[in-house]
Amino acid sequence: MHPFVYDQPAARVIFGVGSLDRLAEEVKRLGARRAIVLSTPDQRSDAEEAARRLGDMAAAIFAEAVMHVPIETARAARDVAKQLDADCYVAIGGGSTIGLGKAIALETGMPIIAVPTTFAGSEMTPIYGLTEGGIKKTGRDRRVLPRTVLYDPTLTLTLPARIAGPSGMNAIAHCVEGLYAQDASPIMTLLAAEGIRALSCSLPIVVKEPKNLEARSDALYGAWLAGTVLGNVGMAIHHKLCHTLGGTFNLPHAETHTVVLPHAMEFNREAAADAMRIAADALGVRDTAQGLYDLAQRLGGPLALKDIGMPADGLDRAARLATENPYYNPRPVEYAGVRQLLENAFHGKRPA
C-alpha cells in the first residue's frame, strides 16, 4: 500500500432520470432565490427547460457560453446577475458551459449548480480555465467547484454520436491516468476502474442506439466517477500532451484525447504495469493501449491527429513543448519517446 492523502472537496450529487425536476428545490437548498441559467447558444432549449423548472426563481437565460471561456463572457454574465439581483447560477451543458460557471464563481464566489450534458467531468473538479487577452490560464481553486451537481441522463439523449464518443473517451482518459497518478489513492483507484468499466461497456451502445437511456445513464455514471478522479489526483503525460496540442494547434479537446490516449498508454505500458493491468481488466481486454484504440475505433474515432487538424510540421514543436518542463509521469518524459508517440498518433497507427 502506497502512502496517500485523501481530501475530498465534496459536492452534492443528485443522479437519475428526471433529476432536472429537482432544480428549484436544490436552488432553495443553497439558500438562493434567483438564478441565471447559463448555456451555449446551441443548448438554449435546455436552458429554457431549466428555467421552466425554476419558475419565478429564473432571473434570466445567458446562452453565450463558448469554448475556452473568454473572460469577457464571464464578466458579461456577472453583470447580468448584478442588474437582475441574482444570487446563483445554473450551468447546463458540457465543459465549456460549466467552465463559464467556474470563471464566474472564481470572481464572485457565487454558488453554481451544474447540470452536465456531456461526459467531460468538469463539474466534479476544482480546475478552471479561462482566456484573457488571447492567453488561456488554468488553475485550481475550491471556490469554482459547483455546490450541487444534477446528473439527468435524459439530457444526454440529444448528444450526437460524434460528440458522445470522444467525450466518453475524454472521461476514460481521466480514469486511466488516475490509476498511475503520483498521488493515487486506493479510493480513486476503485473509482477509476469502475469508471473505465461503466464507460467502456456503455459507450458502444450509446453511439449505436441513440435512444437507449440505460446506456446513457451508465455512461453518465462513469463520467461522474471519471470527473471525481480528475478532481482528486494529478494527471500525467496524456493530459499534458492534449493540453499542448489543444493550446498550440487549436485541436478540438475531446477528439484530441480520443486519438492520443492509446498511444500515451503504449508509452507508459511497462512503467505503469499495475495500472495497465487494472485498466485492461476493467476494459475486458488483454492490453490497455490496444483495447483503447479498438474502443475508439468502435465509437467511430477519430484515430489520427492528421484527421483533426494537426499539421505534420508541428510534431517536432509539440514534442519539444511537451518535454520542456519536467512533470510527473511513470516513465521519464524524453524527447525521442514523445516524438515517436506523436508520430504514431499522427498516422493513427494501432499500438504494437
Of 71-79, 82-90, 152-160, 283-291, the window that binds ligand NAD (rule: CB under 6 A) is: 152-160
Is 163 near ligand NAD (CB under 6 A)? yes
Cell of 233: 489526483
Is 127 near ligand NAD (CB under 6 A)? yes
Is 172 near ligand NAD (CB under 6 A)? no
Beta bridge mates, 140: 127
Pairing of strands 135-140, 58-62: unpaired
Instruction: Give the contact letters, 74-103, x = binds to ligand NAD (CB under 6 A), - = no.
Output: -------------------xxxxx-x----
**Closest-approach residue to ligand NAD (CB):** 95
Of 38, 81, 120, 130, the one binding ligand NAD (CB under 6 A) is 120
Of 120-128, 185-193, 296-304, 336-344, the window that binds ligand NAD (rule: CB under 6 A) is: 120-128
Is 121 near ligand NAD (CB under 6 A)? yes
Pairing of strands 135-140, 127-132: antiparallel
Of 61, 149, 159, 245, the one binding ligand NAD (CB under 6 A) is 159
Is 254 near ligand NAD (CB under 6 A)? yes
Length of the chain: 352
| Total of residues contacting ligand NAD (CB under 6 A) | 29
Of 216, 238, 239, 253, the one binding ligand NAD (CB under 6 A) is 253
Rounded to the nearest 10 degrees, the angle between the axes of helix 213-232 and helix 186-208 is 150
Residue type, 142: R
Contacts to ligand NAD from residues 20-79, by CB under 6 A: 40, 42-43, 67-68
Q: Residue 182 Cβ, how far from ligand NAD at the closest point, in Å?
A: 18
Residues making contact with ligand NAD (CB under 6 A) = 40, 42-43, 67-68, 93-97, 99, 117-118, 120-122, 125, 127-129, 155-156, 158-159, 163, 167, 230, 253-254
